[in-house]
Amino acid sequence: MHPQRTAIIGGNWKMNTDRASGLALAGSIARGVQELHNAGKRVEVAVFPPFVYLPLISEALCAASSRVMLGAQDVYHAERGAFTGEISVLQLQDVGVGTVLAGHSERRHVIHEGDDQINLKVRAILHHGLRCVLCVGEKLEQRETDQTNTVNERQVRLGLRDVRPDELDRLVIAYEPVWAIGTGKVASPEDAQDAHRHIRAVLADLFGKDAAAGVRIQYGGSVTAANAAELLKQPDIDGALVGGASLKEADFMAIVRAAAQ
């Protein structure tokens, strides 16, 4: 983690929690983050609950005047209209969402979203002034055949097509190797750093070195309280996107504390 970038930790709850457990989890994370800020620590934290609980969690975070940012796990690119079952950026904004994931590996590989669709989402999110977390990452067979950097580069370039340099301050990249997500197999800090360095080089090629140095790149894939600190020591790892371990307050807050500067 470079001192010029503030670490950012996201808790992706996926299709987990219900009203009561989500509220309890958000409440305790809000208290934990407040304590860190009171102690003068610097770290950004976001939670990504399921769509249906966003208004509920939003109200709870507002009532607690929390610094925890509310995130959505996905979005549809159009603003409104006949798109049954979909949710727009405007609707997310209306309930207090400040950050949105695009291209999460489960959207790419379970729901079969393609790079073009993901790019439309990225542009819609940034256009409306929200923060976008573009997720990229290689599958196991791609890593085994030495295609990690090629795959990440393609997903970054296609995902960011027609994104303007002035929108970059709202962009976060999450590098999440597919084989590491939900498997307990975390990338080694060195392998993760290699992938992050390459992604930053791609950003530099697209937007210039200075702009690329300002973009935060999170690592995701089986991050736990036990392995977070080692990953976060790497110069190009600026935070974590956490799935399983984000559902337990103690585990998630241990990761947040490891990232706080």
Name the site residues for ligand PGA (rule: CB under 6 A).
Answer: 12, 176, 181-182, 220-223, 241-245
- Give the shortest CB-152-to-ligand PGA separation in angstroms: 15
| Helix, strand, coil in percent for the chain, rounding step 5 | 50, 15, 35
Residue with Cβ nearer ligand PGA (9 or 57): 9
The SS3 of residue 75 is: coil
Residue with Cβ nearer ligand PGA (152 or 222): 222
Q: Which H or E element spans position 216?
A: strand 216-220
| Catalytic positions | 104, 176
**Cβ contacts of 156-160, under 8 Å, gap ≥ 24:** 156/199, 156/202, 156/203, 156/206, 157/202, 157/206, 158/115, 158/116, 158/118, 158/119, 159/102, 159/103, 159/115, 159/118, 159/119, 159/122, 159/134, 160/119, 160/122, 160/134, 160/206
- Give the shortest CB-206-to-ligand PGA separation in angstroms: 24
- Give the shortest CB-203-to-ligand PGA separation in angstroms: 20
Residue nearest to ligand PGA (CB): 243
- Give the shortest CB-174-to-ligand PGA separation in angstroms: 7
Residue with Cβ nearer ligand PGA (182 or 189): 182
Number of H helices, E strands in the chain: 11, 8
Residue with Cβ nearer ligand PGA (3 or 184): 184
